[in-house]
A and B are shown apart, each in its own frame.
Chain A
Amino acid sequence: MNENQNTFDLTDSILRVLGIIGFFTAVIFGFVIAGGNVITLVHPAEIFIVVGTIFFGLLSTHRSKFLAYLPKALLALVRKPVANREYCQISDNARGYAAAGGGMAVILSLICTMSNLDDPESVGLRVAAAMSGVFVAMLLSQGLFVYLRYSFSENASS
Protein backbone atom coordinates (compact mmCIF):
# COMPACT_ATOMS: atom_id res chain seq x y z
CA MET A 1 0.00 0.00 0.00
CA ASN A 2 1.42 3.35 -1.06
CA GLU A 3 1.33 5.66 1.97
CA ASN A 4 1.53 8.76 -0.23
CA GLN A 5 -1.61 8.10 -2.25
CA ASN A 6 -3.78 10.09 0.17
CA THR A 7 -4.44 13.16 -1.95
CA PHE A 8 -7.02 15.77 -1.04
CA ASP A 9 -10.23 15.50 -3.03
CA LEU A 10 -12.63 18.38 -2.42
CA THR A 11 -15.71 16.58 -3.75
CA ASP A 12 -14.94 13.54 -1.63
CA SER A 13 -14.51 15.69 1.47
CA ILE A 14 -17.73 17.61 0.89
CA LEU A 15 -19.67 14.37 0.43
CA ARG A 16 -18.13 12.90 3.58
CA VAL A 17 -19.05 15.90 5.72
CA LEU A 18 -22.52 16.05 4.20
CA GLY A 19 -23.05 12.35 4.87
CA ILE A 20 -21.97 12.54 8.50
CA ILE A 21 -23.92 15.71 9.27
CA GLY A 22 -26.92 14.33 7.39
CA PHE A 23 -26.88 11.11 9.40
CA PHE A 24 -26.96 12.87 12.75
CA THR A 25 -29.37 15.56 11.55
CA ALA A 26 -31.81 12.96 10.20
CA VAL A 27 -31.91 11.21 13.57
CA ILE A 28 -32.24 14.36 15.68
CA PHE A 29 -34.62 16.13 13.27
CA GLY A 30 -36.81 13.04 13.08
CA PHE A 31 -36.97 13.03 16.87
CA VAL A 32 -37.94 16.72 16.91
CA ILE A 33 -40.63 16.18 14.24
CA ALA A 34 -42.07 13.40 16.39
CA GLY A 35 -42.49 15.96 19.15
CA GLY A 36 -39.39 15.16 21.14
CA ASN A 37 -37.35 17.70 23.03
CA VAL A 38 -33.64 17.42 22.23
CA ILE A 39 -32.77 18.42 25.80
CA THR A 40 -34.33 15.19 27.05
CA LEU A 41 -31.67 13.25 25.12
CA VAL A 42 -28.87 14.91 27.05
CA HIS A 43 -28.11 13.09 30.28
CA PRO A 44 -24.52 13.86 31.31
CA ALA A 45 -24.19 10.77 33.49
CA GLU A 46 -25.17 8.43 30.65
CA ILE A 47 -22.92 10.22 28.17
CA PHE A 48 -20.06 10.07 30.64
CA ILE A 49 -20.48 6.31 31.12
CA VAL A 50 -20.68 5.57 27.37
CA VAL A 51 -17.93 7.91 26.17
CA GLY A 52 -15.71 7.08 29.14
CA THR A 53 -16.07 3.36 28.52
CA ILE A 54 -15.13 3.76 24.86
CA PHE A 55 -12.22 6.11 25.50
CA PHE A 56 -10.61 4.32 28.43
CA GLY A 57 -11.41 0.89 27.01
CA LEU A 58 -9.53 1.73 23.83
CA LEU A 59 -6.76 3.43 25.79
CA SER A 60 -6.19 0.31 27.87
CA THR A 61 -6.36 -1.99 24.86
CA HIS A 62 -4.39 -0.07 22.22
CA ARG A 63 -2.45 2.46 24.38
CA SER A 64 -0.14 4.66 22.24
CA LYS A 65 -1.71 3.43 19.00
CA PHE A 66 -5.05 4.75 20.23
CA LEU A 67 -3.54 8.17 20.98
CA ALA A 68 -2.09 8.22 17.47
CA TYR A 69 -5.49 7.12 16.12
CA LEU A 70 -7.44 10.06 17.59
CA PRO A 71 -6.14 12.82 15.26
CA LYS A 72 -6.29 10.46 12.28
CA ALA A 73 -9.91 9.64 13.07
CA LEU A 74 -10.80 13.34 13.37
CA LEU A 75 -9.10 14.01 10.05
CA ALA A 76 -10.90 11.05 8.48
CA LEU A 77 -14.18 12.86 9.12
CA VAL A 78 -13.29 15.46 6.50
CA ARG A 79 -10.86 13.75 4.11
CA LYS A 80 -10.16 10.30 2.74
CA PRO A 81 -7.66 8.50 5.01
CA VAL A 82 -4.96 6.00 4.05
CA ALA A 83 -5.95 2.38 4.65
CA ASN A 84 -4.58 1.20 7.99
CA ARG A 85 -5.35 -2.16 9.59
CA GLU A 86 -4.61 -0.94 13.14
CA TYR A 87 -6.96 2.03 12.86
CA CYS A 88 -9.60 -0.14 11.22
CA GLN A 89 -9.20 -2.55 14.15
CA ILE A 90 -9.49 0.25 16.74
CA SER A 91 -12.67 1.53 15.07
CA ASP A 92 -14.12 -1.98 15.18
CA ASN A 93 -13.15 -2.43 18.83
CA ALA A 94 -14.73 0.94 19.63
CA ARG A 95 -18.05 -0.52 18.56
CA GLY A 96 -17.61 -3.29 21.09
CA TYR A 97 -16.83 -0.82 23.85
CA ALA A 98 -19.81 1.31 22.80
CA ALA A 99 -22.02 -1.74 23.22
CA ALA A 100 -20.50 -2.41 26.64
CA GLY A 101 -20.84 1.23 27.72
CA GLY A 102 -24.43 1.44 26.49
CA GLY A 103 -25.34 -1.77 28.27
CA MET A 104 -23.76 -0.64 31.53
CA ALA A 105 -25.38 2.80 31.31
CA VAL A 106 -28.77 1.14 30.92
CA ILE A 107 -28.26 -1.29 33.76
CA LEU A 108 -26.96 1.38 36.16
CA SER A 109 -29.87 3.68 35.28
CA LEU A 110 -32.32 0.87 35.85
CA ILE A 111 -30.80 0.19 39.25
CA CYS A 112 -31.44 3.87 40.06
CA THR A 113 -34.99 3.55 38.72
CA MET A 114 -35.84 0.40 40.65
CA SER A 115 -34.48 1.87 43.87
CA ASN A 116 -36.90 4.81 43.45
CA LEU A 117 -40.14 3.04 42.50
CA ASP A 118 -41.90 4.72 45.43
CA ASP A 119 -41.85 7.91 43.35
CA PRO A 120 -43.92 6.85 40.29
CA GLU A 121 -43.76 10.23 38.60
CA SER A 122 -40.00 10.00 38.23
CA VAL A 123 -40.06 6.48 36.77
CA GLY A 124 -40.80 7.65 33.23
CA LEU A 125 -37.98 10.19 33.31
CA ARG A 126 -35.52 7.66 34.71
CA VAL A 127 -36.43 5.07 32.07
CA ALA A 128 -35.99 7.79 29.43
CA ALA A 129 -32.56 8.55 30.88
CA ALA A 130 -31.65 4.86 30.62
CA MET A 131 -32.75 4.81 26.99
CA SER A 132 -30.77 7.94 26.19
CA GLY A 133 -27.60 6.12 27.24
CA VAL A 134 -28.10 3.37 24.71
CA PHE A 135 -29.16 5.97 22.16
CA VAL A 136 -25.80 7.73 22.50
CA ALA A 137 -24.01 4.37 22.27
CA MET A 138 -25.89 3.37 19.13
CA LEU A 139 -25.42 6.77 17.53
CA LEU A 140 -21.66 6.62 18.08
CA SER A 141 -21.43 2.96 17.12
CA GLN A 142 -23.50 3.04 13.95
CA GLY A 143 -22.98 6.64 12.93
CA LEU A 144 -19.31 7.15 13.68
CA PHE A 145 -17.38 3.94 14.21
CA VAL A 146 -18.93 2.01 11.30
CA TYR A 147 -17.94 4.95 9.10
CA LEU A 148 -14.40 5.05 10.52
CA ARG A 149 -13.97 1.29 10.23
CA TYR A 150 -14.90 1.42 6.57
CA SER A 151 -12.85 4.56 5.91
CA PHE A 152 -9.67 2.94 7.22
CA SER A 153 -10.26 -0.30 5.29
CA GLU A 154 -8.65 -1.26 2.01
CA ASN A 155 -12.10 -1.48 0.46
CA ALA A 156 -12.60 2.26 0.95
CA SER A 157 -9.19 3.07 -0.52
CA SER A 158 -9.62 1.09 -3.71
Chain B
Amino acid sequence: MNLVSLVWFLLSCPFLFLFLLRLGNSNGHVECPFCGTKKKRDEMNCKKCGFEFLEPPPGPFPWILAGGALLSILSLVAWIESQQYL
Protein backbone atom coordinates (compact mmCIF):
# COMPACT_ATOMS: atom_id res chain seq x y z
CA MET B 1 0.00 0.00 0.00
CA ASN B 2 2.87 2.29 0.88
CA LEU B 3 4.57 2.09 -2.51
CA VAL B 4 1.32 1.81 -4.50
CA SER B 5 -0.04 5.12 -3.18
CA LEU B 6 3.34 6.76 -3.72
CA VAL B 7 3.47 5.62 -7.34
CA TRP B 8 -0.11 6.84 -7.89
CA PHE B 9 0.88 10.18 -6.42
CA LEU B 10 3.97 10.41 -8.61
CA LEU B 11 1.93 9.55 -11.70
CA SER B 12 -0.88 11.98 -11.02
CA CYS B 13 0.87 14.96 -9.43
CA PRO B 14 1.70 16.59 -12.81
CA PHE B 15 -2.07 16.89 -13.28
CA LEU B 16 -2.32 18.67 -9.94
CA PHE B 17 0.44 21.08 -10.80
CA LEU B 18 -0.88 21.79 -14.28
CA PHE B 19 -4.33 22.30 -12.78
CA LEU B 20 -2.90 24.85 -10.34
CA LEU B 21 -0.78 26.58 -12.95
CA ARG B 22 -3.65 26.99 -15.40
CA LEU B 23 -5.80 28.79 -12.85
CA GLY B 24 -6.43 32.33 -14.00
CA ASN B 25 -5.20 32.05 -17.60
CA SER B 26 -6.37 34.74 -19.96
CA ASN B 27 -8.86 32.50 -21.74
CA GLY B 28 -10.80 32.02 -18.54
CA HIS B 29 -11.48 35.76 -18.34
CA VAL B 30 -14.76 37.26 -19.50
CA GLU B 31 -12.96 40.34 -20.77
CA CYS B 32 -9.73 41.21 -22.54
CA PRO B 33 -6.87 41.57 -19.99
CA PHE B 34 -5.54 44.59 -21.93
CA CYS B 35 -8.49 46.76 -22.95
CA GLY B 36 -11.32 45.22 -20.91
CA THR B 37 -13.56 44.50 -23.93
CA LYS B 38 -16.06 41.71 -23.29
CA LYS B 39 -15.08 38.47 -24.99
CA LYS B 40 -16.82 35.27 -25.93
CA ARG B 41 -15.47 31.98 -24.62
CA ASP B 42 -14.19 30.66 -27.95
CA GLU B 43 -12.63 33.90 -29.21
CA MET B 44 -8.87 33.68 -29.79
CA ASN B 45 -8.25 37.42 -30.30
CA CYS B 46 -9.73 40.58 -28.85
CA LYS B 47 -11.84 42.31 -31.50
CA LYS B 48 -10.84 45.77 -30.31
CA CYS B 49 -7.09 45.58 -29.58
CA GLY B 50 -6.04 42.24 -31.08
CA PHE B 51 -4.81 40.74 -27.78
CA GLU B 52 -4.23 36.99 -28.25
CA PHE B 53 -5.79 34.87 -25.54
CA LEU B 54 -4.23 31.62 -24.39
CA GLU B 55 -5.62 28.65 -26.29
CA PRO B 56 -8.85 27.38 -24.78
CA PRO B 57 -8.44 23.85 -23.39
CA PRO B 58 -10.14 21.43 -25.81
CA GLY B 59 -13.00 19.11 -24.83
CA PRO B 60 -12.76 17.29 -21.52
CA PHE B 61 -9.15 18.35 -20.82
CA PRO B 62 -10.03 20.59 -17.82
CA TRP B 63 -11.99 17.74 -16.26
CA ILE B 64 -9.09 15.32 -16.80
CA LEU B 65 -6.80 17.82 -15.09
CA ALA B 66 -9.24 18.24 -12.21
CA GLY B 67 -9.64 14.46 -11.84
CA GLY B 68 -5.88 13.95 -11.89
CA ALA B 69 -5.44 16.70 -9.30
CA LEU B 70 -7.98 15.04 -7.01
CA LEU B 71 -6.36 11.64 -7.46
CA SER B 72 -2.99 13.21 -6.69
CA ILE B 73 -4.18 14.72 -3.41
CA LEU B 74 -5.95 11.53 -2.31
CA SER B 75 -2.95 9.34 -3.10
CA LEU B 76 -0.66 11.76 -1.26
CA VAL B 77 -2.94 11.57 1.78
CA ALA B 78 -2.92 7.75 1.52
CA TRP B 79 0.87 7.70 1.27
CA ILE B 80 1.34 10.04 4.26
CA GLU B 81 -1.07 8.00 6.35
CA SER B 82 0.80 4.81 5.46
CA GLN B 83 4.07 6.13 6.84
CA GLN B 84 4.92 4.29 10.04
CA TYR B 85 6.37 7.27 11.79
CA LEU B 86 3.10 9.22 11.67
Residues of A at under 8 Å CB distance from B?
83, 85, 88-89, 92-93, 95-96, 98-99, 102-103, 106-107, 110, 113-114, 117, 123, 127, 130-131, 134, 137-138, 141-142, 146, 149-150, 152-155
- A21 to B: closest C-beta gap in Å: 22
Q: Which residues of B contact A153 (CB under 8 A)?
A: 33-36
Q: Closest residue to B35 on the A side, CB-wise?
A: A154
Are the C-beta atoms of B51 and A99 separated by less than 8 Å? no
Q: How many residues of B contact A (CB 8 A)?
A: 24
- With A89-B51, A92-B54: A103-B21 Cβ-Cβ less than 8 Å: yes
Interface flag for B26 (CB, 8 Å):
yes
CA distance A88 to B50 in the complex (A): 12
12 A-B pairs with CB atoms under 8 Å apart are: A85-B49, A85-B50, A85-B51, A88-B51, A89-B51, A95-B26, A103-B18, A134-B20, A138-B21, A149-B26, A153-B35, A153-B36
Q: Name the A residues within 8 Å of B51 (CB-CB).
A: 85, 88-89, 92
B10–A110 touching, CB < 8 Å = yes
Q: Which residues of A contact B26 (CB under 8 A)?
A: 92, 95, 149
Complex CA gap A149/B51 in Å reads 12
Q: Which of A130, A137, A149 has a CB less than 8 Å from the CB of B33?
A: A149
A30, B86: Cα distance in complex, Å: 23
Given contacts A103-B21, A141-B21, contact A85 B34 (CB under 8 A): yes
A114 vs B70: C-alpha distance when bound (angstroms): 21
Q: Which residue of B lies closest to A146 (CB)?
A: B24
**Lowest 10 A-B CB distances belong to which pairs?**
A99-B21, A134-B17, A88-B34, A153-B34, A110-B10, A92-B26, A106-B17, A154-B35, A103-B18, A106-B14
A41 to chain B, nearest CB (A): 15
CA distance A89 to B34 in the complex (A): 8
CA distance A131 to B21 in the complex (A): 12
Quick check: A89 and B10 within 8 Å, CB to CB?
A: no
Residue B41, interface by CB 8 Å = no
Structural contact, A95 and B36, CB atoms closer than 8 A: no
Chain A nearest Cβ from B28, distance in angstroms: 11
